[in-house]
Amino acid sequence: MKKEVIDKCHICGEITKLTKEHFPPKAAYNNIPRKLVNSNILSMSVEDDWSMKNKRYKSYQQGISEFTLCERCNNLTGAMYGDAYSKVVKGVGYHIMQIPKDERAGWVHIAIQQMNCLAFFKQVLIMFCSVNSAEFGVKFKDYLLDKSNKNFDTQRYKLNMYLHHGNMDRMVSMCQILNPQTHTITRCTEISLFPFGFIFYDLDHTTGHTIIGTDITSWSQSDFIEKEIEIELPFLSCNTGRILDFE
């Protein structure tokens, strides 16, 4: 018997039967077995050990997926944004795999001939909706369910992007990172799976942070069309489950 989950949809907020959402989409290298460390936390110190050793992890046999979206939101957003995101992932991923692993370092210049930046941005935000609670996602309901909607608060939120390198996939829900040396707080959530990593900052609850990766927040205001883009992205190594740990 198939599992039935009745809960709040992470986009529209309705309490209804949920469907399994693959995040990223299955076509974006998310149709293979994966393991994720259980690192859904509220806060942590820089001394904590977040390696896989002696830690709980969850196995996914056919890609990372959870019951987070209702059927309508799952089908609608997948049709509008999934292909645009997957096409870029597969194109960039293919070229990254031609680079020897020991040479994946520094910044890389990437040119993409046909990319829908708004669709790509919204698909990434949907992934963060699934990683985080329904309360996180429902704030973006109108923005995500209308493909032409550009009403995204760029003053409060920032989305940065990098090239994933290392031995661990990482998905960490929204948390506060306390830095005892600088007495600052960074509030963010992170997704990192080959070939891209993303950091979503909540600047309203951040007293200080170091910008990591390339800021793509402006894509949230793009037209819903394909265009040629060029971007510089850094390789960052993910070898632990700790958010923003690139040692």
Read off the pLDDT of each residue in 118-138 and give the average, rounded to a whole number: 97
- Give residue 197's pLDDT: 97
- Give residue 65's pLDDT: 81
Residue 229, strand partner residues:
112
- Give residue 46's pLDDT: 41
- Give residue 168's pLDDT: 86
More confident residue, 61 or 118: 118
Read off the pLDDT of each residue in 205-229 and give the average, rounded to a whole number: 91
**135 contacts: CB under 8 Å, gap ≥ 6:** none
- Give residue 16's pLDDT: 96
- Give residue 53's pLDDT: 53
Q: Return the ∠ at Cα 232 (arms to 125 and 27), rounded to 5°.
A: 45
Q: Which of 51-65, 117-131, 155-169, 181-195 has the lowest mean pLDDT?
A: 51-65
- Give residue 70's pLDDT: 97
- Give residue 73's pLDDT: 97
- Give residue 45's pLDDT: 39
Q: Which of 64-68, 127-131, 216-220 has the lowest mean pLDDT?
A: 64-68
Evaluate if residue 38 carries a pLDDT over 70: no
pLDDT band for 29, please (50, 70, 90 cuts).
confident
Read off the pLDDT of each residue in 194-222 and give the average, rounded to a whole number: 92
Q: Where are the beta strands (DSSP E) in 180-238?
A: 184-193, 196-202, 214-215, 227-237
Q: In what order do the strands lie in the sheet with 5-8?
A: 5-8, 15-22, 65-70
C-alpha span between 218 and 94 (Å, rounded): 26
Evaluate if residue 108 carries a pLDDT over 90: yes
Let me know: does 158 contact 215? Beta carbons within 8 Å.
Answer: yes
Read off the pLDDT of each residue in 134-163 and give the average, rounded to a whole number: 97
Helix 83-97 to helix 117-131 angle (10° resolution) is 90
**Which three-class secondary structure state does DSSP give residue 61?**
strand
pLDDT tens-digit profile of 48-106? Answer: 444 445 556 677 767 888 899 999 999 999 999 999 999 999 999 999 999 998 999 99
- Greatest pairwise CA separation for the chain in angstroms: 53
Length of the chain: 247
Let me know: does 72 contact 12? Beta carbons within 8 Å.
Answer: yes
Q: Which of 115-119, 168-172, 195-199 has the lowest mean pLDDT?
A: 168-172
Evaluate if residue 37 carries a pLDDT over 70: no
In the chain, the amino acid numbered 129 is C
Evaluate if residue 109 carries a pLDDT over 70: yes
Q: What is the pTM of this model?
A: 0.90
